[in-house]
Amino acid sequence: MPQPSHPHKSSKYTYGPVPSRRLGFSLGIDIIPHKNCSFDCIYCQLGKTSNKTLLRKEYTPVQDVLEEVRYVLKKRQHIDYLTFSGSGEPTLHNGLGYLIKELQKITKVPIAVLTNGSLIFMPDVQKDLVNANVVLPTLCAVNQKTFSRIHRNHTNLNVTAIIDGLIRFREMYEGQIWLELMLIKGINDQPDQIKQMKLVMEKIKPDKIHLNTVVRPPSEEYAYPVTADALRRIKGVLGKRCEIIADFKMPVESPYRTEYLQNILSIIERRPVTVDDLVSITGLHANEILKYIERLLEQGKILLSEHEHKKYYQSTGRFHDRTKGPE
């Protein structure tokens, strides 16, 4: 393997640990450049996909990633999971399997992979994921029309092949599969759609089913969340392995919360900013910033507005309740 191309100076491939609804304190490992993805989901919190691709390659140098994670682990912070996630689809990286194996040599912290699941039909991707402790794929629809409407996927992707891939992966994989169903009001929340989803999930046999909805500002305004009642109803249909992902409450004494929350709020109080502005001002990862933005939105301290197709966060005011959906 080649040597690292630069000595580690700052966080280029890692962020956090950030409080995660599903993974406790999660150290994010981001190995794909911003919005290189096989999907362009209408609910994506990161905006539009800039490079829609199925090409697997070494998007980021694996030795540099390993060096940075080693450095972060030396700080001995509390970390529940090392999580491959971030601003693109991690299974596009052809060094993912190597990275997982190498990380397992240096730490006992379990490794999770957050994936859109689109490449799971590829034998190489299955092989790369097999040593992870938890794989968290998303499945939002079981028919191609709804699937494409939600994900605006790469044209060579087929939902039947993805479902078959998930079933085959389950047969070969001994770790945990936590399957996420992202529900979008009026698009994939109808009773017959949930019934069909249940049948498919019975074949995939995930260890957990995580019900989610569009709680963060989406790429498309029309991607509305379902209500809490709808989530409960759907949970009832999908059975006992199904959980509604509750909001993770950060401990009050967490140093991250006060420091980052205050810092981000003070920037927003000065002028309306986009997530990208906050990334360049603070040097934090977009996903990390989004966690704090979510908290500030919940607290009603900031609000979201749109100008020339860009989303801005600004101080004060009423929190626009998106659960109400279109008039």
Residues that bind ligand SF4 (CB under 6 A): 37, 39-41, 44, 46, 49, 89, 116
Strand partners, 93: 57
Q: How far apart are CA 80 and CA 26, in angstroms?
A: 6
Nearer to ligand SF4, 147 or 292 (CB): 147
Closest separation in Å from C-beta 6 to ligand SF4: 26
Nearer to ligand SF4, 70 or 216 (CB): 216
Nearer to ligand SF4, 87 or 109 (CB): 87
Closest separation in Å from C-beta 46 to ligand SF4: 5
Closest separation in Å from C-beta 180 to ligand SF4: 10
Nearer to ligand SF4, 44 or 66 (CB): 44
Closest separation in Å from C-beta 37 to ligand SF4: 3
Closest separation in Å from C-beta 220 to ligand SF4: 11
Nearer to ligand SF4, 49 or 126 (CB): 49
